[in-house]
Amino acid sequence: MGMSSPEALLICEHCDTVYRRRTLARGDVARCARCEAELERHHALSVNAMLALILTAMIVFVQANMWPIVTLGLSGQQSSTTLWGMILAMWREQAQVVSVLVAATLFFFPLLKMLLLGWLLWFARAGRRAPGFVRLMVILHYLGPWTMSEVFVLGALVAIVKAHTYFDVTPDPGIYAYAALTLLITVFAGVDLRRLWDDVPAGAA
C-alpha cells in the first residue's frame, strides 16, 4: 500500500481510526475526526521541566506524608494525624481492606510513580534510555488511574467541615503540602507519558 513507517502513523485508541501523524505547534491538540477523542497534544513541557516538576513533587510528597494534616481540639484535648496515622487506624479498626486501599492509592502508587518518572527522566535528559526502560514504562502505564492524592485533598476538606460542627479544627502544614501536590499533579495531568518512547529512541540505551 506504500504506507510510510509505522512511527509516522497514529491510531485512535478509542475507535481504531488510523491517522498520519502531523507536527503540532504550541497549544495544538489533535482530535479524532470519528470519535472526537484526543489523539495527541503538543509537548508543552521539556524533559528538563518535567524532571524539575517531579523533584518538586517528591519534596512536597515527603512533607505531605510527614507533617500532620489537621488537628482537632475538644475540651482541652488535642488530636492530630498524618497519612500513615490514617492507614494504621483503619488497620486497627478491622478495616484492613480500606487500610490497604488508602496505603496503595495515596502512598505506594504515587511514590512509585514519582520514583519511576524521576529515574526515566534523569536518563532521558542525557538522551538515553534508563536501565529497565521498557518494563518501567509499562508499569507506569498501568499505575495511571490508581494514584488519588487529589481526591484525598477534597476528602480532607469534607472531613474538616464535618468535624467543625463538634471540634475546634486547626489545619496543619500537611494539608497545604497536599494542596501543593495537587497543583503539581494538575500541571502533569496534560502530559502524555508515552512521549518518552519517542523522545528517547531505542538504541540510544
Partner 1 sequence: MSALPRASELGLIACTDCGLVCRNVPGDTRLDGDGVGDDMACPRCGTTLHRRKPNSYMRTWALLIAAFILYIPANVLPIMRTASLNDVDDNTIISGVVELWRAGSPNLAVIVFTASIVVPVLKFLALGTLLVSSQRGSGWARVQRAKLYRLVELIGYWSMLDVFVVALLTALVRFSVLSLVEPLPGVIFFGLTVVLTMLASMSFDPRLIWDGKDTDD
Under the criterion CB under 8 A, does residue 81 sit at the interface with partner 1?
yes
Residue with smaller CB distance to partner 1, 56 or 81: 81
Residue 97 to residue 153: CA distance in whole angstroms = 21
What cell numbers appear for 130 in the block?
534508563
Report residue 176: phi and psi, to 5°.
-70, -40
Contact 94, 169 (CB under 8 A): no
And the C-alpha cell for 174? 500537611
Q: Which C-beta is closer to partner 1: that of 31 or that of 52?
A: 31
Q: How far is the CB of 64 from partner 1 (least distance, A)?
A: 13
- The number of CA neighbours under 13 Å toward the Cβ of 205 is 8
User: Cα separation of 159 and 154, whole Å?
Assistant: 9
Q: In the complex with partner 1, which residue's Cβ is closer, 90 or 130?
A: 90
Considering only residues 163, 179, 183, 187, which one is a binding residue for partner 1 as defined by CB under 8 A?
163
CA 118 from centre of chain: 12
Question: Using CB under 8 A, which of 51, 57, 58, 90 touches partner 1?
Answer: 90
Pick from 2, 23, 26, 158: which binds partner 1 (CB under 8 A)? 158
- Are the C-beta atoms of residues 104 and 112 closer than 8 Å to each other? no
6 counts as binding partner 1 under rule CB under 8 A: yes
The reply to whether 15 sits near partner 1 by the rule CB under 8 A is: yes
- Helices 133-143 and 109-125 cross at an angle (nearest 10°) of 140
Taking CB under 8 A as the criterion, which residues in 21-60 touch partner 1?
33-37
Burial class (CB in 10 A: 0-12, 13-18, 19+), 83: buried
Under the criterion CB under 8 A, does residue 66 sit at the interface with partner 1? no
**Shortest gap between Cβ of 62 and partner 1 (angstroms)?**
19
List of residues contacting partner 1 (CB under 8 A):
1, 3, 6-7, 9-11, 13-18, 33-37, 69-70, 72, 74-75, 77, 79-81, 85-90, 93-95, 97-99, 101-102, 105-106, 134, 137-138, 141, 145-146, 148, 151-152, 154-159, 161-167, 194, 197, 202
